[in-house]
């Protein structure tokens, strides 16, 4: 993201460039190809040259639609964000169920598109995209309908997004390490737990946890851990829960 004369430089903040008659490439084609490259090589490897080669087009054809690589990433990220279901204030399970489902869906989206986690941290203008704004608007509408004031709704949304993006980025990175190891998930985790058990022998609380997990016959990534942690966050946000604890 660049700043020029006090203005945020983003595909979302500048007027679209005037298109040539019958351009050889559409913006949609460029974005689709960029998503494929991002999926296979990540944000660092994406370049205008590589993208042009993939599309059998020169870089000048790309500049008809975008100013630089960052704008392509913005467009690609926002298109992927469009896969999310916008939270509904009328969810039959209430605000907690709506937030739980949104968090779970966002996690799945990032795991399918690991490059997206880096974009959340590196390109702040992602939040200016229409699909991202639609999701945020939905989250806020659910929380405000549940009685959250503006400040609490903002904080709740930021906490939930921050947790999901952070923990899922780590999860996606771990899965990449496992793939590079050539082992399946169970084998890799078994070896990792054995190493942790040996390394933690001077730390009794950690050692107890590593030892107990070594006894599990079928070691898998804990499918319910994410859900349990989201519930802890929702408990902290839920005024009724906090009143119960204080009582």
pLDDT, tens only, 156-211: 999 999 999 999 988 888 888 888 899 888 888 888 888 999 999 999 999 998 88
Interatomic CA distance for residues 71 and 103, integer angstroms? 26
pLDDT value for 85: 97
Please state, for a pLDDT cut of 90, what percent of the chain lies above it: 49
pLDDT (average), residues 205-227 = 74
For the record, the structure tokens of 96 come out as: 């907690």
pLDDT tens for 5-48 read 556 778 777 676 555 554 568 889 999 999 999 998 888 888 89
Cβ proximity of 143 and 87 under 8 Å: no
Return all residues near 100 (Cβ < 8 A) that are at least 6 apart.
Answer: 227, 230, 231, 234
Interatomic CA distance for residues 124 and 106, integer angstroms? 17
Q: How far apart are the first and last CA of the chain?
A: 48
Interatomic CA distance for residues 218 and 229, integer angstroms? 22
pLDDT tens for 120-144 read 877 667 788 999 999 999 999 999 9
Closest CA to 64 of 77, 41, 50, 48: 48
Q: Given a cut of 50, is residue 219 above it in pLDDT?
A: no
Cβ proximity of 64 and 23 under 8 Å: yes
> What confidence tier does 220 reach under pLDDT thresholds 50, 70, 90?
very low
Please state, for a pLDDT cut of 70, what percent of the chain lies above it: 85
Q: Which long-range contacts (CB under 8 A, 24 or more apart) does 187-195 make?
A: 189/219, 189/220, 189/221, 190/219, 193/219
Cβ proximity of 109 and 168 under 8 Å: no
Q: Give the containing element (helix H, strand E) for 3.
A: strand 2-4
Interatomic CA distance for residues 244 and 142, integer angstroms? 22
Q: Given a cut of 50, is residue 240 above it in pLDDT?
A: yes
Cβ proximity of 176 and 113 under 8 Å: no
């Amino acid at each position: 993201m660049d700043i020029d004369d006090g203005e945020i430089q983003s595909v979302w903040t500048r007027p679209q460039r005037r298109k040539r008659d019958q351009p050889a490439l559409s913006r949609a084609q460029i974005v689709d190809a960029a998503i494929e490259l991002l999926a296979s090589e990540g944000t660092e490897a994406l370049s205008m040259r590589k993208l042009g080669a993939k599309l059998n087009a020169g870089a000048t054809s790309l500049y008809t639609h975008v100013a630089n690589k960052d704008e392509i990433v913005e467009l690609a990220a926002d298109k992927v964000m469009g896969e999310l279901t916008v939270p509904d204030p009328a969810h039959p399970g209430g605000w907690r169920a709506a937030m739980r489902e949104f968090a779970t869906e966002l996690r799945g989206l990032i795991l399918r598109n690991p490059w997206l986690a880096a974009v959340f941290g590196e390109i702040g203008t992602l939040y200016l995209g229409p699909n991202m704004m639609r999701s945020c608007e939905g989250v806020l509408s659910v929380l405000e309908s549940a009685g959250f004031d503006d400040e609490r709704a903002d904080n709740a949304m930021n906490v939930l997004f921050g947790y999901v993006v952070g923990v899922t980025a780590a999860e996606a990175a771990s899965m990449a390490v496992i793939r590079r190891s050539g082992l399946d998930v169970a084998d890799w985790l078994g070896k990792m737990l054995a190493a942790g058990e040996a390394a933690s022998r001077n730390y009794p609380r950690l050692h107890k946890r590593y030892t107990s997990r070594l006894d599990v016959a079928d070691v898998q990534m804990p499918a319910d851990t994410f859900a349990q942690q989201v519930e802890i966050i929702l408990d902290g946000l839920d005024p009724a829960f906090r009143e119960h604890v204080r009582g």
